[in-house]
Amino acid sequence: MELTAIISGFAVGAILGLTGVGGGSLMTPLLIGAFKLHPAVAIGTDLWFAGLTKTGGAIAHHRHGHVDRGIAKLLLVGSLPAAAATIAWMHVTGLTKGWASVLTLSLGIALLLTALVVANRPLWQKLGLRLEAWIPARHKPLLTVLVGALLGLLVTLSSVGAGALGATLILLLYPRLPAQQVVGTDIAYAVPLTLVAGIGHASLGHVEWALLAALLPGSLPGIWLGARLTKSLPDKLIRTLLAGSLVLAGLRVIY
């Protein structure tokens, strides 16, 4: 089981390095399907996996000036309270069969949305530029907070959303933001969000710590390899394969 976990961590890390899509899109379905974890435990374990693996990336982007602090702060103003409120709600209602269904459905929907985002990535900036005529600059801070709240809810319920979905929503609101700042800002706000949500799930007993410890050693070399392979594989091929995998994973989780 430990070897399987190391290999799984390496594979998800490689895809994360190759595509930039958060591990939650792939790790959580893997934890449910291959390791037979309860959906809540899979989500809690993956939140810690995502938070820890993205920390190094957030530090690196910050050092290179790739983080828009203003946007990241607004996203956190919305996402952290939303995550805390969702965890509090789960504490009050308790973990029931009904909650398992809610978590599974949330995960499936998030995977399908992520597939849609990945498959149509080049279109989102164009759409954002068109939306500029309809969204006054004075309304963007409030909209950014609301986007953060939506992501906080989705990430806490499914562990998916802080990667491709978050970056896409940032791009829609700020289409003139340089690509490296979109990525850096997305990673920067995602680390506190996933860790807060992860702490909340840990308080509910939703983390398989031994499995997490086995997943992490393989993830870092996987990320390094994936980043290296990005230079040699066509972007369209990568997006097509990933989107197809996400659709299959989402449909499998839902049905």
Q: What tens digit of pLDDT does each residue of 225-235 get?
A: 776 776 677 76
pLDDT at 241 over 60: yes
Work out the percent of the chain whose per-residue pLDDT is above 70.
89
Which range marks the domain in which residue 128 is found? 2-254
Residue-wise pLDDT tens digits, 152-166: 998 998 888 777 788
Question: Side chain identity at 9, as an amino acid letter?
Answer: G
Q: Based on the structure, what is the number of domains in the chain?
A: 1
Does 80 have pLDDT greater than 90? yes
Q: Is-contact 209 5, C-beta < 8 A? A: no
Distance CA 71, CA 52 (A): 22
The DSSP secondary structure of 67-81, one letter per residue, reads: --HHHHHHHHHHHHH
| Predicted local distance difference test score (pLDDT) of residue 73 | 97
Burial 157-195 (b: 16+ CB within 10 A, else e): bbbbbbbbbbbbbbbbbbbebeeebbbbbbbbbbbbbbb
- pLDDT(250) > 60: yes
Spatial distance between the Cα atoms of 125 and 168, rounded to a whole number of angstroms: 8
Q: Is the model more confident about 235 or about 92?
A: 92
